[in-house]
Amino acid sequence: MESINKLRNKWGVGVIQFWLIIATFALGGSLSGYLNKKVLNLVFEEKNAAYWVFYPIVLTILWPFSVILVSFVTGQFLFFKGYLGRVLGRLFGGAGKPTDKKVTPAAATNPTHIAIFASGAGSNALKIIEHFENTDKSRTPIKVSLIVCNVPTAGVLNIAKEKGIPTLLINKAEFNETGYVQSLQNADIHFIVLAGFLWKVPEVLVNAYPKAIVNIHPALLPNYGGKGMYGSHVHDAIIAAGETESGITIHWVDAHYDEGDIIFQAKCTIQSGDTPEVLANKIHALEHAHFAPTIEKILLS
């Protein structure tokens, strides 16, 4: 059991996904063995010395294709895509960790992969997706490649489905323990964007992606930040305090709520009589106008 838990932690997966991965390995191995025999029996009339020479060679070639095929059935394609990519990278002298990637305009054929973490409707996520869909790919090699969500009924999952973007549904215990780091690395994720994601990011994930996780907060930090200060709670507090301005803050994520270094801020004026709902609309406009361009500027700087 201890060895199983160590392997689960290494992969960054839950119990159910772990056994699905094990089943994929087993079924993929069986399928590759079966296909190997079929192929060799077509070539060799008997199991002579040449048969046994080619047996491991053909098996090695068939195994990754068999595992990927089975992974579609078990729902583990995302895991095995990254797993096999890393194995092949080691064999052929490939690159290092996802966060080692340097982004330059010349890398258009090898885009930077973004994961968006969101808990709600996903309006900011949609703006970011559309921004990078509609930019010059030769200039901006950036792609939203994964949507991570902690709410099974969240609207952002519908956006991901419509856009054909893979999703990762997470649970809190596993997130706090592993940060799903291995799952993110399997998906070749280089950069993480929090867009209305309501959980605190665990230290294990922050350490795995140093200066590669950004968040947007609906106020001018360091004011009106911290635990419990999100969405309408922020706008209610600002209006109740009689503030004359508010805005957005895009900042690096560290192990504490809303305390990472500030990257960008934009302000809006609060008029007499503005309600929290009116302020929320002003903030949404700022978020939609500035979040995606700021992400692009960070990744291309």
Residues 16 and 130 in one domain: no
Place of tokens 């700087």: 301
Residues 197 and 82 in one domain: no
Structural domains of the chain, count: 2
Q: What local confidence, expressed as pLDDT, does residue 151 receive?
A: 93
Helices (H), 209-274: 232-240
Q: What local confidence, expressed as pLDDT, does residue 203 receive?
A: 92
Domain boundary among 28, 61, 91: 91
Q: What local confidence, expressed as pLDDT, does residue 97 receive?
A: 47
Domain boundary among 26, 59, 91: 91
| Cβ(150)–Cβ(63) below 8 Å | no
Determine if the peptide bond prior to 222 is cis (ω within 30°).
yes
Q: How far apart are the first and last CA of the chain?
A: 46
Strand pairing of 262-269 and 245-252? antiparallel
Dist CA 297 CA 276 (whole Å): 31
Question: What average pLDDT values come out for the chain (301 residues) when binned by 10 residues?
Answer: 70 75 94 94 90 93 93 85 72 51 46 93 95 73 91 94 91 90 87 94 93 95 91 94 96 91 96 95 96 94 80
Residues 80 and 167 in one domain: no
Residues 20 and 156 in one domain: no
Residues 87 and 105 in one domain: no
Dist CA 62 CA 56 (whole Å): 10
Question: The whole model's pTM is what?
Answer: 0.69
Q: Report, as residue numbers or ranges, the catalytic residues.
A: 217
Coil, helix or strand at residue 51: helix
242 is written with which tokens? Answer: 């009689």
Residues 245 and 294 in one domain: yes
Q: What local confidence, expressed as pLDDT, does residue 92 receive?
A: 62
In 3D space, the residue among 33, 32, 94 whose CA is nearest the CA of residue 64 turns out to be 32
Residues 183 and 210 in one domain: yes
Hey, what amino acid is at 199?
W
CATH of the domain at 254: 3.40.50.170
Residues 111 and 246 in one domain: yes
* Residue numbers of the domain that contains 150: 98-300
Residues 132 and 274 in one domain: yes
Residues 83 and 215 in one domain: no
Domain boundary among 91, 107, 130: 91
| Cβ(110)–Cβ(187) below 8 Å | no
Dist CA 281 CA 284 (whole Å): 5
